[in-house]
Amino acid sequence: MMLHIPHILLPDEVAHLRTLLASTHWIDGRATVGSQGAQVKRNQQLPESAPHMAELRQIVEQALKRHALYFSAALPLRVSPPLFNRYDAAQQEHYGFHVDGAVRSFPGHSGWMRTDLSATLFLCNPDEYEGGDLTVRDTYGEHEVRLPAGDMVLYPAASVHSVTAVTRGTRICSFFWIQSMIRHDQRRSMLFELDQTIQTLRDAHGDSDATLSLSNHYHNLLRDWSEI
């Protein structure tokens, strides 16, 4: 399942993040990937040692915690610390087609996490740059994503994906990975659709025996499929 989630960040939060990021130092993004990724990655990334990294991450993490649609879609068990990248037109920076690692570890965090979902949170509006499309391949073809600042796209981390070359302006995003309570994408999609149907019926008709029955099925499926 690939899903556009609007309004993860409020406009003042986007502005504050942009101010902090404008005053920091970026490094070559190839420093954070393996040999395969380094062959196709041409961008900049915020280093772990950046002076505002803790505050930047806290803003994104708090925004995710309050967003019900994100929780319903991702059913997050573990979330990697948010990272930040930058694609500039001066070098026509891009990231060729690649696949994210199935498991990852992170500085300051013990153990490993499985990457079920990838997330890209846009911090620039589409009219601020040209190119820079997130392109995700699946069985239905290639899907290009350019979202307003503060909006996010979720997609299976198993997908082959790329970022096309930026030809004007600068594209800045936050990105991270999620280990879901539900490992399988199809099951996660079914639970999301069921949850959204329950919410729609409840909004239209209030609580009823029918919504209670559906809620019971939802929670029993979540109980049966979850890995916690």
Q: Are residues 124 and 214 in the same domain?
A: no
Which pTM was predicted?
Answer: 0.95
Q: Are residues 192 and 124 in the same domain?
A: no
Q: What percent of the chain has pLDDT over 70?
A: 99
Q: Are residues 74 and 95 in the same domain?
A: yes
> Is residue 208 very low, low, confident or very high in pLDDT (cuts 50, 70, 90)?
very high
Binning the chain into helix, strand and coil, the percentages to the nearest 5 are 35, 30, 30
Q: Are residues 193 and 88 in the same domain?
A: no
Q: What percent of the chain has pLDDT over 90?
A: 91
> Is residue 129 very low, low, confident or very high in pLDDT (cuts 50, 70, 90)?
very high
Domain containing residue 56: CATH number:
2.60.120.620
Q: Are residues 151 and 213 in the same domain?
A: no
In total, how many domains does the chain have? Answer: 2
Q: Are residues 93 and 72 in the same domain?
A: yes
Expressed as residue numbers, the domain containing 203 is: 185-225
| Each residue's pLDDT tens digit, 70-98 | 999 999 999 999 999 999 999 999 999 99
Q: Are residues 172 and 204 in the same domain?
A: no
Taking residues 49-76, report their average pLDDT: 97
Q: Are residues 157 and 73 in the same domain?
A: yes
DSSP class of 164: P
pLDDT higher than 90, residue 188: yes
**CB-based contacts of 76: which residues, under 8 Å, 6+ apart?**
64, 178, 179, 180, 181
pLDDT higher than 70, residue 136: yes
Q: Are residues 97 and 53 in the same domain?
A: yes
Taking residues 119-124, report their average pLDDT: 98
